[in-house]
Amino acid sequence: MLIREIAAGRMMEGEKLPPERDMAADLGIAVGTLRKALGDLERKGLLSRIQGSGNYVRSQPDVASVYSMFRLELLEGGGLPTARVLSVDRLAKPMDLPVFGSSGEA
């Protein structure tokens, strides 16, 4: 879950995670299980764990995500980019396309 949140940009570099006990309770798992998962994220370079201070998100530009090929930002900054469909047109499939589906349109 955290990998997905970090990769999607919903958790920013330097953001502090909630206390481990709170996170474990919210997820319905044992604190030890959560600590193992956080340790794995630290090894992957996604978290910095500072004893006595907390867990912090680290920037990881290599994380594969739907936006990994682009640097997308909202004009007003922050948040996730969105898309708006401008048009959808049904056209006859070109004859040189490989055969797929049963419709003559694409």
**Planar angle of CA 14, 52, 8, nearest 5 degrees:** 25
22, 21, 1, 23: which is closest to 10 by C-alpha? 1
SS3 string, 6-62, reads HHCCCCCCCCECCCHHHHHHHHCCCHHHHHHHHHHHHHCCCEEEECCCEEEECCCCC
Judged by DSSP in three states, 3 sits in helix
- The CATH class of 2-57 is mainly alpha
Q: Is the pLDDT of residue 95 over 70?
A: yes
pLDDT-derived band at 72, boundaries 50, 70, 90:
low
Please tell me the predicted confidence (pLDDT) of residue 103: 85
Hey, where are the domains in the chain?
Answer: 2-57
Q: Is the pLDDT of residue 70 over 60?
A: no
Q: What is the value of pTM for the model shown?
A: 0.54
Please tell me the predicted confidence (pLDDT) of residue 29: 92
- Given the structure tokens 């309770």, which residue do they identify? 25
Interval 13-50: pLDDT, tens: 899 999 999 999 998 999 999 999 999 889 888 899 99
